Each structure stands twice: as C-alpha cells, then as structure tokens.
Structure 1
Amino acid sequence: MLSFTRQGNQEGPTLVFMHYLGGSANTWTPAINNLKHDYDCIAFDMPGFGNSGALKDMSIQSQAKTVWENIRDLKIKKPFLIGHSMSGKIAAIISLQFPDAISGLILVAPSPLTPQPMTVQQYLQQKEWTGSSEEAKAFVDGACSQPLKPELKELAIEDTLRADCKAFHKWADNGSQEDYEGVFDKVKLPVKLIIGNDDRSVPNITEQIKRTLVYFNPYSFKIIEDCGHLLPLECPKELCKEIDIFVSLIYK
C-alpha cells in the first residue's frame, strides 16, 4: 500500500491529495491545515516519493491503477481527487476511467493528458537527476515565482532529496510524454483547474483547456496571481479558498 496521511473531519467530504514530481504527502500540509476542520483529508506519497517505493512499471496507467486500488482499500466513497503537476495527469486518468465513483476533480497546475512540453534544460534536469542537494535547491527555486518561507523551502528540499532518482528519470522519458489524446470518451464530471499566473512548468490555460479540460463537463478554472508552479507551498490559503468553493458547490 502507498504511504499516506489522514487528517480532519471524517464526517465531511473526502479530499484525496496527490503531489508534484519531487514532493510527498507533506507538500499538502499547509493546505490540509486550512481544510481539515471541514474535510476528511488523505494525502498519498506517490510511487517513488516520500515513504512509497517505486513501481516496476512507472507508467501513468500503472500509477493510476495503484492509487485507485489504495483509495478503494480505504473504503472511500465518492472522493474529490486533487492532483498537482505530475499527479494531475494521474488524477485525470483515474477520473476518466471511473467518473461515476468520483465527486469531482481539482487539477492544480497539472501535466496535460498530451505530452508535456519541456525545455531542454527541464528535460535534462530530470533525466540526469542524481539527487544532490544542489539539484534539489535549484529544482525547488526554479518552480517558484517568489521565494518560499524558509520552513516550507526546507520541507520541499527534504522531500526532493528523499525521492527515488529513477522516478525522475522515468517521468522525463515516459510519464510526462505519454499521450492520451482521443483515448477516453468525454465524461460528465465537474473539474476545476487552478494555476499560477507565473507558472513556467506546465502549459498555459488555453492549452490546458484544449489538452485536458475539454474531456470533462462541466469545467472551470482559476488563475492565482503572483504564484508559480508550487501552489500548495506558495499560496496555500488562496488555493484552499478555491478548493473549498468548488467542493461546496457540489457537496450540498
């Protein structure tokens, strides 16, 4: 079973959090602290990160299957899935496969369902990842619009250093480049995309609609100002406000 944390009000709607490449369940701590009074908050260490071991097959489909099996093992009914960056792609695949078993999908600066555009520098950074402190610091700094609070930067760097290097390599060459255009039928499931206005790691909002949101109905989006790619750490309060608005509209 994947390593996970569970906090909050188990009488409320269940939110299942999945983190970005290099993160862990800890990535979501600031957000969960803002949401746990009203929601049942479960955060997974994705395969190869945190305390979860990598899978033999690190494809998007394999990771999606593993996460869904873990959700079912916890006997969670109709959760809201929240996927950030790398895990946005995984959460979207789960939602397209099991739309009737999910209440809603929140995509936070997600990798798209089509191959993710990367600069040569971004590709080599992940493909040649060795897990050094210098790499971890550069990786975290490069993903942010503004410097993180010291304690959150330390958390992000520590998480990155714990990651299985092969998970980075597999993501660069395989997971990020998997193409699901036209593979799934469009589904009736509410989805909200939340992205920072200064995110240089994933496609812009126009491309996100074309590549991912178009598969869901209804969909909506929110652009958060003065924020980069690491929204759960850069702007947790603003992010939680958007999550709460979305869930509250559905869970009446």
Structure 2
Amino acid sequence: MIAVVLLTGCATTSGASAASAPQPFHVERSGKGRPLVFIPGLASSGEVWNETVAHLQGKYDCHVLTLAGFAGQPAIPAPFFATERRALADYLRAQGLEKPILVGHSLGGVLA
C-alpha cells in the first residue's frame, strides 16, 4: 500500500490560501519499519527510487519525496533550498520519525 502525503501550511502571500499555495514537496509513503526518506536529484521525480523502495519497503517505512518545481510539481518562491530544508525538518517532526535514514542524490544528497 502506498500513502500519499501532501504538505499544508506553507507561508502564503496575502489573499492566497494554504490549500492553493505550492507545497515544498510531494511524498509517497510505503512499507513498515525504520523510517527511510528518499530525496531525488535535480530534475528528477521520486520515481527514480521505485526499484530501491520495492526492495526495501518490507523492512523500512519509505518516504519518497518529489521536490517542488520538478516532475510536474509546482515551483515554490525563493529561497528554494532554505524552504525545502525547513519543510523537510518540519515533516520529519510532524510525522514523528525518530532517527530517520536520509538518502539523497545530487541536490537530494545536499538536502539530506
């Protein structure tokens, strides 16, 4: 089973609602076990991790991100990196993920 988590509560400009504001990332979650967060690189979707997740989801709670502005996800206002970093930390806390393993490639590796 795959659960899709959409983040809400991003900062919005006057007149815009949180529901219409672009989100920092899209998450697909599957599996059970120790939390494992996958962050793709530049211009990639979370789908680049599909084969890895299929192999690991029996032992891990996999959280696969697709960052804003890539793979059809709406872009977010600048500063991109600081916003993504803060949103990722907020997501980990909100989900109650204790000692998650962060795996990233390219930009995702820097973010991790």
Matches of 2:71 and 2:98, distance apart in 1: 25
Matches of 1:50 and 1:74, distance apart in 2: 24
SS of 2:69's partner is: coil
Cα displacement string for residues 99-119 of structure 1 (whole angstroms, at most 9, x for unaligned residues): xxxxxxxxxxxxxxxxxxxxx
TM-score (norm 1): 0.33
Q: Tell me: higher relative CO, structure 1 or 2? Use CA pairs within 8 A at least 6 residues apart.
A: 2
Q: In the alignment, what sits opposite 1:16?
A: 37
Deviation at 1:70, TM superposition (A): 2.0
Q: In the alignment, what sits opposite 2:3?
A: none
SS of 1:15's partner is: strand
- The structure with the largest strand share of the pair is 2
Which of these residues, 94, 97, 107, is aligned with residue 73 of structure 1?
94
1:26 and 2:44 aligned: no
Matches of 2:79 and 2:34, distance apart in 1: 30
1:50 and 2:71 aligned: yes
Deviation at 1:21, TM superposition (A): 0.6
1:52 and 1:75, CA in 2 relative to 1: closer, same or farther beyond 3 A?
Answer: farther
| Larger-gyration structure (1/2) | 1
- The structure with the largest helix share of the pair is 1
Deviation at 1:51, TM superposition (A): 5.2
RMSD: 1.5
TM-score (norm 2): 0.71
Deviation at 1:66, TM superposition (A): 1.6
Matches of 1:6 and 1:51, distance apart in 2: 19
Letter in 1 for 2:85: A
1:48 and 1:22, CA in 2 relative to 1: closer, same or farther beyond 3 A?
Answer: same
SS of 2:85's partner is: helix
Can you give the 5+ residue segments of structure 2 that lack an aligned partner in the other structure?
1-6, 8-24
1:35 and 2:56 aligned: yes
Matches of 1:31 and 1:61, distance apart in 2: 27
SS of 1:45's partner is: strand
Which of these residues, 12, 28, 31, is aligned with residue 5 of structure 1?
28
